[in-house]
Structure 1
Amino acid sequence: MTVKRKKKTPDPSSYRKRTYRNRVDHGALVSFEVRIRETDLQILAGKDLRDTAGAAVFQYRSQLESYIARHPEFATVLTPLPGDPTAPPIVKSMLGAGLAAEVGPMAAVAGAIAEYVGRDLLAAGAGEVVVENGGDIFFCRNRESVVGIFAGASPLSNRVGLKIPARCMPLGICTSSGTVGHSLSLGEADAVTVLAKDTALADAVATLVGNAVQPGQSLDAALAKGAAIPGVLGVVIIRGEELGAWGEVELVPL
């Protein structure tokens, strides 16, 4: 059922200031942030590895910037680019995600950086790690966890969470919005959250599904877009007072 709603103009300040991070329960994990130019990460880990995380961010940003210097279309194109066997692994991951979701490769950048940094931290002995990059998350805990969904001005924002069993991790959990944040979305969803083992893929598909949430249309068609992509485990869409879900998702009230 479609619920009619008045169009609201959301206040983006909570997103810009990342105040939603104040709601995170760190538990026994160490919390720290890493900021290098546009990259702004909140990281939870079994121990303080901020130097390792900073070095990883610098490494992967350098790889991306060097590739873009040689292939400037990579940074601006809104449609898929073909694979490049000579590209660094993080670029290959973004190219593959863009092809799968039929979007430009930069739609996967936040998710790709989150996962590559997170895997470096696990290799460095983090034990458990959560890397959040502007709402796109690489999630690897040893216990069942709940991830809240921030959906801007929607009355469901921070009221609905996803229960993630330990057996499903590591997992990519990525959110796109047409009303919150600086990333490009051509739809009107307050939040589209996608779950996939590949965080770059989850990020790219969140953009695809978000673009499909159009005025006056049911959420079903947009959910079907995500469901059709191999590797996607679940999709949740919030638009005002409406909520739609597909796949391996367990919603819980917050």
Structure 2
Amino acid sequence: MAIQFLRGNPQTPKGHAILVARSMGFAGATYCTYCVVPPIPMSSIAKFIPPFLAAQLPAEQLQDTEVSAEGMPIPPILEEVDNFEYIKALAEHRDDDLCDIGSISSRDDMTRMQMAIAGSQEYTSLYMDFIARVQPEKAEPVSEPLTLNEIDPEELFFQTMPDRQKLAELGKLIGTARYAIEGHDSALLQDTRRKMQRIVHLLADKYRGSDLVAAAIDPDERGAKLAELYLKRAYKLLDEEYADIPAIERSIRELKEQA
């Protein structure tokens, strides 16, 4: 079989293609199937298809060994389509390869199934050749994997938080920082600062987390007000309530000018 690309490039196949075949006995008749080469390894496709179709496939394709990629026609038989121009437009819109896999001389199910399988195998072969050329070298394995004791639970906890929860946690820590300042507890203040810095490191710069932390640990009462304003501003950004932000920015500037 000589597969011909009507859309796409045989040197850089996408891994998904509409395969078409023309009828030799019925003028204008066109048959199609869709071939996809899964990027994730899978075991035998036998468990995914009906028994009566599995009986038509080569035995080696039904083994339960894992394979890196196996192109499969969906449906597993060439189906007749009424409008080839529609198929061409569909491939364009979906960014699929469009491949002519030749002419078909019979409408019987077995012939259409065998041709669909053969076309998929050839397309898969082209795709695997392409992947072999562009696949990056495998990274060297880590010599010493991290043990459970080396994993920082606090860092993992902060990383899994959504942004709203990170901001809520910052709000609590602002209160803790002000309590530490009032009680002259330098150890608590430093620990609170460290936690706040770890959280803002995980937030986008637009939230101005560094300014928030600096304000929160400022012993002046103005710092507490600034920290709350920065936090309020962050929530407005998160909720996309942009119209409220200029007034908050103005209040921040006024407080800073009082210094």
Point out the structure with the larger strand share: 1
* TM-score normalized by the length of structure 2: 0.22
Point out the structure with the larger helix share: 2
* TM-score normalized by the length of structure 1: 0.22
The structure that has the greater radius of gyration is: 2
